[in-house]
């Protein structure tokens, strides 16, 4: 089969090569393009679109060479196969990764009210260090005493507030 005088296998191979080239380009400048053009969160994700073009080209080329059926059926089969694969990749890989990126980010203000532990002693009128253990790792921040009392290493503390410089204001935590 030919489309506009070009053999269908050439079209499939071109789609495959263009898809691979766009994938490589997207790896290097995708984040920049998403920031500049504000793409990636809309109806069509660039990763999904590039993946579909690549899969369509690769599946069409292989099926055209392997199956002894008409080129129209091969195109339809390649389209269906690519659609199914890209939906599965999107559902099981791309969306969970995006959700995990959002879950791992936090605002420093979200830590107010959390309990931490003094890592480096906090003097009455100076700075020390506090660590907060979270499911996604440990956060270490400078701290000073909210009540102007010294807090020795290992003391459980409550994060009362955060000053304008991002230093935790902590008080000794008394478990009930």
Q: What is the CATH number of the domain that holds 146?
A: 2.40.50.140
Do 85 and 52 sit in the same domain of this protein? yes
Same domain, 98 and 120: no
**Same domain membership, residue 55 and residue 113:** no
Give the relative orientation of helices 46-66 and 71-89 as an angle to the nearest 10 degrees: 140
pLDDT of residue 102: 54
The confidence score (pLDDT) of residue 73 equals: 94
Residues in the chain: 176
Are 152 and 80 found together in one domain? Answer: no
Q: Please give the model's pTM, rounded to 2 decimal places.
A: 0.55
Give me the percent of the chain exceeding a pLDDT of 90: 47
For residue 114, the enclosing domain spans 108-172
- The whole-number pLDDT of residue 16 equals 95
Q: Where residue 106 falls among pLDDT bands split at 50, 70, 90?
A: low
């Amino acid at each position: 089969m030919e489309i506009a005088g070009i053999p269908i296998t050439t079209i499939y191979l071109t789609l495959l090569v263009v898809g691979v080239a766009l994938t490589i380009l997207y790896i290097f400048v995708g984040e920049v393009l998403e920031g500049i053009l504000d793409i990636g969160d809309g109806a069509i994700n660039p990763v999904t679109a590039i993946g579909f073009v690549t899969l369509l080209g690769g599946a069409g080329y292989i099926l055209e060479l392997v199956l002894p059926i008409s080129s129209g059926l091969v195109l339809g089969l390649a389209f269906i196969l690519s659609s199914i694969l890209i939906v599965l990749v999107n559902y099981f890989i791309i969306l969970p990764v995006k959700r995990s990126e959002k879950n791992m980010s936090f605002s420093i203000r979200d830590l107010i009210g959390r309990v931490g532990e003094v890592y480096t002693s906090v003097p009455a009128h100076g700075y020390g260090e506090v660590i907060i253990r979270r499911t996604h790792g440990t956060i270490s921040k400078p701290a000073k005493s909210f009540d102007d009392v010294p807090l020795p290493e290992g003391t459980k503390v409550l994060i009362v507030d955060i000053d304008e410089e991002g230093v935790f204001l902590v008080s000794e935590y008394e478990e009930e």
